[in-house]
Chains A and B, each alone.
Chain A
Amino acid sequence: MLPENWIVLFVLGLVVLLALWSMGIYNRLVRSSVQTKEAWSGIRVQLRRRASLIPNLVEVVKGYASHEKGVFEEVTRARSALQNASGPAESTSANQTLTAALGRLFAVVENYPELKAAGNFQELQDELSDVEVKIAYARQFFNRNVAQFNIRIRSIPDILIASMLGLERFEFFEEGQDADEELRVSFTSSGGE
């Protein structure tokens, strides 16, 4: 075999290998990005569930405390803001606003013992706290995906392909200061639960 021929084949082989290798990286990045988006839709589902519980809750509380209009309006506003929010950053702040508004609503409820004891109110409260736990888990899964993706697109060699494709970092979904505190405490506290 002629030497030139050999060199041409060698270079061709290298090119093919390189192409296959970049395809592998590309596929990995795409998979990671799609998985992260899917994890985000998991959070959206739970956030929507949370928002959809609000009207019923407001109705029930209104039945006992109809004059607390300011709080109802605040909660309703926060709810529609959450429903219309798009993307992690906006959703994060809308969700935090709703949490704060709900906090005030529940503070109002404290003044009405018969409301607190009402069956349908307790049911809604249970459902709401269940959704909140689910949001926390969905957030954990999403943030793990985000961390994975963000590390990937900034590591060598993935960064080469990622910058060519213009892939950008995903934002984390934050639950707010309080939730973080709670998480840290549950790791360091030595007392039983």
Chain B
Amino acid sequence: MKRTSEDAPILIYDRIGSNRRKTRWLLAVFVIVSIPVFLFIAHYMTGIVAMSMFMQAASSPESAVAPIIGISTGIAVLLLGVAVELLYRYSSRLVLRLTAARPLDPKEEPTLVRTVENLCIGAGLPVPQLAIVESRATNIYSTGLEPDKATLVVTSGLLEALDGRELEGVVAQELSQIGNGDVRLGTVLATVMTIMMLPYLIGARVIKTLSRANRGRGIGCLFFPVLFFAVMVAGSTVSGLFLISDISDPTERLFFTLVMLVPLYALIIGPAIAYMLRSAVSREREFLADADAVLLTRYPPGLARALAKIAVPGNAVIATQPSISHLWIVDPGKPKPTFRTGLFATHPPIRERIEALSRMGGLTPEMLAAAEADGHLYHDTVAAAARSEN
């Protein structure tokens, strides 16, 4: 225990500060990257940009274009402000809705309630509200902007699969994230990412309604919207290039080139960069929360065993929006679609996390193997149950 407590500040209060400083630059870049995207979305929503571009194409006097763009930007910023305020206020409710979580009656799960209460005493945190997602997946997350308004969400599968010590480990990990301010940051990032992906989400909803195909709410339902916007952006860029070649005035030409590139940036480049930055922030914090959890439970094998069980491919997979995947304790996505690894990965590889935990002591290879076997057993049981239902 000494090892971990010496190279890190002892108290959670102090760590909040250092943690924030560490990721501040990432957040600054995130804001810079995302502002144009928001402006575009807001413009797009008001339809003013389309109108001004149309008018410009019709008459092309620059004097008339500038005020229109100015006014539309003003309206967009205003709308954006209202939207951000509303989303900030309702962000945890948004996240809870996106995962179909329902409040948990304390009498339903006395063990969980007791575990949470005890760990909160140890961490010096107020007891969060509890919610449950009815799913066989084994996963857990928390949301909320302040520790006293936080909600801890577990899946029913997690409660089924983990024993007392393991549950203690994952709950401690979540509580550490609440205490470290990671949950606040994660909730804000989730909200921002949800807005950025709004065109895709709306597109997905439309396509879903049209096709009546039940694609779930995972990453798969985004395929067609992405394709649609990619074709749209490519089309507008290519046709724009043709139009620009006719313009002789260099200033005007530069202006139109920039205008033309806005959709490309707002719909594809911006969200992609933001997605990577969000993932980088999230990865950074996962190790810290793991170490903090051990500081709280004083029992490294608990969390390590839980992670080994959860990490059995398929166990943690839960239908959820990609914009909030960083909130969960392990990536809720399907195992290894290529663009969830590397720069896009929201979590460090589970092997590395378990490795780091095993360096804290107490964990034997046999324990780990047993936990993995249990995880596989759980996976098979779930698969069998799903087959018999169909």
Contacts and interface: CB of A to CB of B under 8 A. Distances in A.
Contacts of A151: 10
Nearest to B9: A148
A134 B118 contact: yes
- Interface residues on chain A, size class: 20 to 34
B118 A190 contact: no
B362 A147 contact: no
B118 A133 contact: yes
Contacts of A144: 10-11
Given A42-B124, A134-B118, A188 B361 contact: yes
B146 to A, nearest CB: 17
Interface in B1-57: 1, 10-11, 13-14
B364 interface: yes
A146 B1 CA distance: 17
B122 A148 contact: no
A138 B10 contact: no
Nearest to A130: B114
B179 to A, nearest CB: 11
A192 B367 contact: yes
Contacts of B118: 133-134, 137
B371 to A, nearest CB: 9
A186 B10 contact: no
Contacts of A183: 298
Contacts of A192: 301, 366-367, 370
List of 8 A-B pairs having minimum Cβ-Cβ separation, nearest first: A137-B122, A137-B121, A141-B124, A190-B364, A138-B121, A140-B122, A137-B118, A148-B10
B117 A134 contact: yes
Contacts of A140: 122, 296, 298
B10 A147 contact: yes
A193 B122 CA distance: 21
B119 interface: yes
Contact of A190 (B11, B121, B296, B362): B362
Interface in B211-231: none
- Interface residues on chain B, size class: 20 to 34
A123 to B, nearest CB: 13
A140 B362 CA distance: 20
B165 interface: yes
A97 interface: no
B84 to A, nearest CB: 31
Contacts of B185: none
B165 A193 contact: yes
A187 B119 contact: no
A188 B123 CA distance: 23
Interface in A127-161: 130, 133-134, 137-138, 140-141, 144-145, 147-148, 151
Interface string A57-99: 0000000000000000000000000000000000000000000
Given A130-B114, A187-B361, 13 more contacts: A46-B121, A134-B118, A137-B119, A140-B296, A140-B298, A144-B11, A147-B10, A186-B298, A186-B299, A186-B362, A187-B1, A187-B299, A193-B301
Contact of B11 (A138, A145, A186): A145
A42 B121 contact: yes
Contacts of B361: 187-188
A187 B362 contact: yes
Contacts of A138: 121-122
Contacts of A133: 118
B44 to A, nearest CB: 47
A151 B1 CA distance: 18
A189 interface: yes
A148 B121 contact: no
23 contacts: A35-B13, A35-B124, A42-B121, A42-B124, A46-B121, A133-B118, A137-B119, A137-B122, A138-B121, A141-B122, A141-B123, A141-B124, A145-B11, A148-B10, A148-B11, A186-B299, A186-B362, A187-B361, A188-B361, A188-B362, A190-B367, A192-B301, A193-B301
A103 B118 CA distance: 23
A94 B124 CA distance: 24
B87 to A, nearest CB: 32
B13 to A, nearest CB: 7
A39 interface: yes
A134 B115 CA distance: 10
A187 B13 CA distance: 26
A145 to B, nearest CB: 7
Interface in B370-384: 370
Interface in A1-55: 35, 39, 42, 46
Interface in B293-349: 296, 298-299, 301
